[in-house]
Structure 1
Amino acid sequence: MSQFAISYTRFSSGSQRHGTSLERQQELSLRFCKKHNLTLMQSFHDGGKSGYHGKHLEAGGQLKRLLEMLDNGDIPRGTHLLIEQTDRLSRQPLMQAFSLVTNLLEKGLVIVTLDDEQRYTYEGDQTQVYMLAGRLHRGYDESRSKSERLGKVWANKEKEMKEGKLPKMRLPFWLERDSSGEVVELSSWVSLIEEVLNLSIEGYGGADIAAKLNGEGKLTKDGVNWNSSKITKLIRNKQLTGWHTRKADKTMYFCLPPVVSQELFSMAQKALDSRTRTRGNSKQWNSALSGLTSCGACGGALKLHGRPQSRTAVCRTAVDGGSCTNRKSIRYKALVLGSVASLSTSLASLMMKQPNKKPPQEKRDLETLLAKAENKVSNLVQSIGLSENSTMLVTLTRELDKASNEVETLKVKLSEVEPVESAEVRAFRMLRIAKEEVPALVTGVLEGSKADANKLNTYLHSIDGFKIDLLDGVATVLGTDIWFEKKELKISNEHVGEVSIIKEDKAPKVGTYVTDSGHEIVTEERGTPLGGGYYLAI
């Protein structure tokens, strides 16, 4: 018999990676080899792969690799395969597990279970076969019982989460339970999260944010440094807005207390997806309109060039020697001010016209269908258990397969329904930002602030259909035309007609106001503020 050995170790849960499971299995293999003078040629290890679901036999599994090496003749016949127990090889139903073990034995391996040092060979006696079958069945039975227990526990948790309640579960690092069991926010961590999201909105990348936090001594909850991956994962975490996602099927439940607003979260997502970032040379200039402009003739991108205070936008193809003839340019400042003016006059109407992409009713309908399908599966399982008619069993089994497939399909559809705002709520939120935040951003943009340019760019990208087309010196965005007429910037749309954009020092005086005490107060009508000292004269 060969004096060579290989070992196979496996554990199914991530938590066992940090425990003693792997170390124990490896120690047993080394001890057996030393005791029986065997040379351990190679070790195969599947970490976090379920033997009950057969994940270790799929692509990427080390047991699958071991089988392939056997087929290729890379492992000599008579080699000892060392396993802690038979359940390390498989926890599948008896016939599947027995087929796997038989295959290994047929290819010349000697299987050794290290817990009792029992050896199994293809030529072994019948008693060995019965012992092996018994151990394989026991491993499957234990896993099935555990799966059923966990299934019942999950069903109770799912019921609570569907009702908006938070069951006993591991909480994200910014939440904890107090002495009474109530879930409370940890203010210091919530403040850090808000800082991270705001930095992302301002255009900082994950590496920049991590460096800033680490430099200030703000480490992770585990006391280690932040890195780009950790920052990105935090920004993408929907638990920040109250949504818990089940890993198994990606179903989402609103059961956690939100710690940031949906508005802040959404803008941070847009910032991650945006092409603008505060990186590299600090003198580098960022456009607030990056990715939002195009030529009205050829569809190509616009080119921004010139000095900071007089930058102009023109078709890149036209000025770089291409076939486009749309060579008339417009000031970058005019595009920024005109875009903001367009938002202030037409955003409400545009937002209200946008239908809900996925109305809440869709989710409720899917949940109703899923409950019915799961109830059907439960009834079929009970019927199969009670039926003694073989013909009826075939029919019921076929129906069970169809019902089970329907359950899985509905779960996938349900997981794809993202929590969305209604058109009314979205319109109100976007209008509030346009009124309260955008003018201040415009001021920063016109002064050359990279952070404000990135933040405004992120906001404009979040508006469906926001695209600036330039044709013959006239820019069009959201149904609003922007152009210069005798050195005066004008806009025109169906909501306000033709209106000028003026500077503060040109604001017209419209009259006086006399107080009860007889004092005369001069009033000025500057119109709608756009930022940077500019107003829409309406």
Structure 2
Amino acid sequence: MTQVFSYRRFSAKHQQHGDSIRRQTDLAVDYCTKNNLTLSELNFEDCGLSAFTGSHRAADTGLSQFIQACESGTIPRNSMLLVESLDRISREQVSVALQHFLYLVNDLGITVVTLMDNKVYTTKPDLTDLVVSLAIMERSNNESVTKSKRLSEIHAKKRANPLTSVKSKTCPWWLRVSPTDNTKFEVIEEKAEIVRLMFQLSIDGVGINRIIQHLESKDIKPPRTEKWGISTVGSILKSKRVLGEYQPHHYVDGKRVPIGEPVQNYYIPIVSENDYHLAQSRRTQRTLRTVGGELVNTAGGRTGDSFPNLFTKIARCSECGEAMHFTDKTRWQYLTCRNRIKQLCTNKPIPYKHMDSFLIEVYLSPQYLAQWSEYAAASTKQVTAGDSLEILESRLQSAQQSLESLMTATANFTNSVILKQMQTRSESIANLEQEIEEKKQQQSESGTDVYFDFETNKQLVANALQQTLFPLMQSFKTEPEKLTKDEVYRERVKLNRQLSKTFPDFQMLYNTDGLFITTNDSIYEFKDKQWIEVETPS
């Protein structure tokens, strides 16, 4: 008995919401009914894949899987393949399309039936049918070439006159084309606010998973899917479309690659450039921290629902240099050297309750009072003196990625246009590197960075600790604000950032001699239930 299979395909992903698959399925079922055939439950389809570029013939596609099944003998010779028309199999150049068509029919012994005209192609095709098939392939390819050329011309015109061209409805989900002027966009404000919230949370030090939790707790729905995904939020936080930037693309060997320089102010900016670059810097800082003068990858480490460890990615073991791991498996909480857990270090677990008192007795001590005042004053100067260091570094990273993308996308390094773009981007990188170096020199002289003043730090500690050790906080006459669980989390994240800047090198040791913390060239010992600074020989 002849086995009958169907192959269905459409090119554009948006067609999955249309009638294409249903129409092709109905044609196959009707043909089998009329010819007393049984359609196999094993059918093949390619959704959103082009027969013009040949992407539907990749190794993991439906058509390729059908061919592999024929080659392996899983699908026997003389089986039948039902397609709506020959252009479902290929829209490539006739010489290429004919080669693949004849391979199916002659080499694999498959009978191909086109359902639109009920043509049957076998290993011994009728000469007239073969000529007709060639004509269909030629027409299909010409249609695709014409469509591709027309779209290329439209995109070329759009790239040449980006600010005055008719805007596409395919735009960021927080924008729409103006109903009164199709050369302009307008902001969907309630959606733009969602994007701004994401950036603010990221600036506050909140990671992507926690951002998703926050959005879900507020019943904020994603634009196109049922649930927020890590890739969705991550791509929004990286996308320069929020700054109004449009990067033209085209396809090279079936791959979408950038072409030309990004167009500024094509979209309506909904996030300030300062907030964008600050968010990029915060995301980098969550995985890279300066430890002992060196950048260390501190990615990983769970912060939980309440961010219980204020010293995450800060505290390290004095014995071996490993990170101190927060444990909360018993009645008490501890900071334990990761190598101690592996029995590779002798540093004893440190009761975490002593770290809260360290915040009040050392972090908020008179020793740092003058420091806070200097930092706050320097921060004000920094805001008025131009872009901060982390914004410049984020711009440098973007410029380097832009040059790398250009070099990856082309092999023609003799083209004058390509060479000019490479020169422009290289000069931009050199200028940014010089500006960053100058900014670093300024900061080394003035100690500038964005710090809170002393009063703000007191309130931040009170909010982060809430009622923990509150009697100690009463000496500062600072009470914690009434905050939600989510707000407390954000305060603790903010305090963690401040601690990482105040204590760039923070080492802990607990042995028979006592409990010690070494930071900022000072040694503190926990003695008689309080932290005291140990005098060291000068």
The alignment's TM-score, normalised by the length of structure 1, stands at 0.65
Report if aligned partners of 1:293, 1:467 keep a CA contact under 8 Å in 2: no
Structure 1 stretch displaced more, 229-238 or 314-323? 314-323
- Please state if 1:239 is matched with 2:241: yes
Q: Which amino acid aligns with 2:272?
A: S
Distance 1:468 1:263, change over 3 A: farther
1:195 aligned onto 2:197:
yes
1:113 match: 114
Q: Which string of whole-angstrom CA distances, capped at 9 and with x for unpartnered residues, describes residues 42-97 of structure 1?
A: 32100011111211111211111101111122223222211111111011122221
- Tell me how far 1:257 sits from its aligned partner: 2.3
Q: 2:375 is matched with which residue: 334, 340, 344?
A: 344
Question: 2:292 — aligned with what?
Answer: none
Question: Would the aligned equivalents of 2:199 and 2:275 in 1 still touch at CA under 8 Å?
Answer: yes
Deviation string for 1:505-535 (max 9, x for gaps)? xxxxxxxxxxxxxxxxxxxxxxxxxxxxxxx
Matched with 2:15 is: 16
Pair 1:354–1:490, CA change in 2 (3 A): farther
Partners of 2:243 and 2:270 within 8 A in 1: yes
**Counterpart Cα distance in 1 of 2:77 and 2:160:** 54
Give the whole-Å Cα distance in 1 for the aligned partners of 2:173 and 2:344.
55
2:504 matches 1:475: no
Establish whether residue 285 from structure 1 lines up as the match of residue 324 from structure 2.
no
Number of aligned pairs?
440
Seen in structure 2, the aligned counterparts of structure 1 residues 118 and 17 have a Cα distance that, compared at 3 Å, is same
Q: 1:303 to 1:208 in 2, by over 3 A?
A: closer
Q: 1:112 to 1:365 in 2, by over 3 A?
A: closer
1:126 positional shift: 2.6
CA contact (8 A) 2:52 2:91 kept: yes
5 Å-filtered alignment, 1:130-141, equals: 130-141=131-142
**Residue type of the partner of 1:344?**
Y
Contact 1:295 1:315 in 2 (8 A): yes
Instruction: Give 1:323 shift.
Output: 4.2
Matching of residue 454 in structure 1 with residue 497 in structure 2: no
> How far did 1:240 drift?
2.3
Alpha-carbon separation, structure 1, partners of 2:28 and 2:145: 28
Distance 1:172 1:61, change over 3 A: same
Closer/same/farther in 2, CA of residues 125 and 362 from structure 1, 3 Å limit: closer
Q: Which digits, 9 at most, give the CA deviation of each residue in 1:144-175, with x for residues without a partner?
A: 222222222222223345xx777612222322
- Partners in 2 of 1:112 and 1:316 — Cα distance? 66
Runs of 5+ unmatched residues, structure 2 = 250-255, 288-298, 469-487, 510-515
| Larger CA deviation: 466-475 vs 186-195 | 466-475
Aligned ranges 1:48-447 → 2 under 5 Å: 48-106=48-106, 107-161=108-162, 168-169=167-168, 170-178=170-178, 179-181=180-182, 182-199=184-201, 201=204, 203=206, 205-214=210-219, 218-220=220-222, 226-229=227-230, 231=233, 234-245=236-247, 248-249=256-257, 253-254=263-264, 255-265=266-276, 270=282, 275=300, 279-280=304-305, 285-287=308-310, 289-302=311-324, 317=339, 322-323=344-345, 331=355, 332-333=358-359, 341=371, 344=375, 351=389, 357-358=396-397, 376=415, 423=436, 433-435=450-452, 439=457, 441-447=460-466
Q: Which amino acid aligns with 1:18?
A: H
- TM-score, scaled relative to structure 2: 0.65
2:472 maps to what in 1?
A: none
Taking the aligned partners of 1:361 and 1:305, their CA distance within structure 2 comes to 40
SS at match of 2:270: coil
Paired residues of 2:243 and 2:271 also in contact (CA < 8 A): yes
CA-to-aligned-CA distance 1:399-454 (integer Å, 9 cap, x gap): xxxxxxx89x98xx99xx9xx996388999x9674247973544433546432122
Q: 1:121 to 1:314 in 2, by over 3 A?
A: closer
User: Which residue type is aligned with residue 14 of structure 1?
Assistant: K
Q: Is the 8 A contact 2:84 2:115 kept in 1?
A: yes
Structure 1 residue 239 displacement after superposition: 2.4
Q: Find the aligned partners of 2:101 and 2:34 in 1 and give their Cα distance.
A: 25
Q: Does 1:30 align with 2:50?
A: no
In structure 2, do the counterparts of structure 1 residues 145 and 188 end up closer, same or farther at CA, with 3 Å as the change threshold?
same
Shift in alpha-carbon separation, 1:141–1:285, aligned structure 2, 3 A: same
- String of CA shifts for 1:232-268, please: whole Å, max 9, x gaps: 5544544223334557215655432221234544565
Shift of 1:21: 1.4
Q: 1:314 to 1:9 in 2, by over 3 A?
A: closer
Q: Does 1:43 align with 2:43?
A: yes
Matched residues in 2 for 1:311 and 1:115: separation? 72
Q: Secondary structure at 1:46's aligned position in 2?
A: strand
Q: What are the Cα deviations for residues 457-501 of structure 1, in whole angstroms up to 9, with x where unaligned? A: 45777x8x984242774534xxx4344499666999xxxxx9xxx
Across the aligned residues of Structure 1 and Structure 2, the Cα RMSD in angstroms comes to 5.0
C-alpha separation between the residues in 1 aligned to 2:74 and 2:411? 52
Partner of 2:3: 4
Pair 1:286–1:246, CA change in 2 (3 A):
farther
CA separation of 1:61 and 1:459: change in aligned 2, threshold 3 A: farther
Q: Retained in 2: the 8 A contact 1:278–1:451?
A: no
Structure 1: 5+ residue runs without aligned partners? 379-405, 493-497, 499-538
SS of 2:39's equivalent in the other structure is strand
> Would the alpha carbon gap of residues 245 and 431 (structure 1) be closer, same or farther in structure 2, given more than 3 Å must change?
farther
> Conserved in 2, the CA contact under 8 Å of 1:293 and 1:302?
yes
Cα deviation digits, residues 86-127 of structure 1 (max 9, x gap): 111011122221111111111211111111111111212333
Q: Which residue does the alignment assign to 1:396?
A: none
Distance in 2 of aligned mates of 1:292 and 1:167: 52
Work out the percentage of aligned pairs sharing the same amino acid.
22
Which of 315-324 and 126-135 deviates more?
315-324
SS of equivalent to 1:116: coil
Residue 81 of structure 2 aligns to a residue whose secondary structure is: strand
Deviations 1:342-377 (A, max 9, x none): 993999799499977458599589979999959959
Any conservation in 2 of the 1:319–1:327 contact (CA below 8 Å)? no
The secondary structure found in structure 2 opposite 1:171 is coil
1:290 Cα shift?
0.9
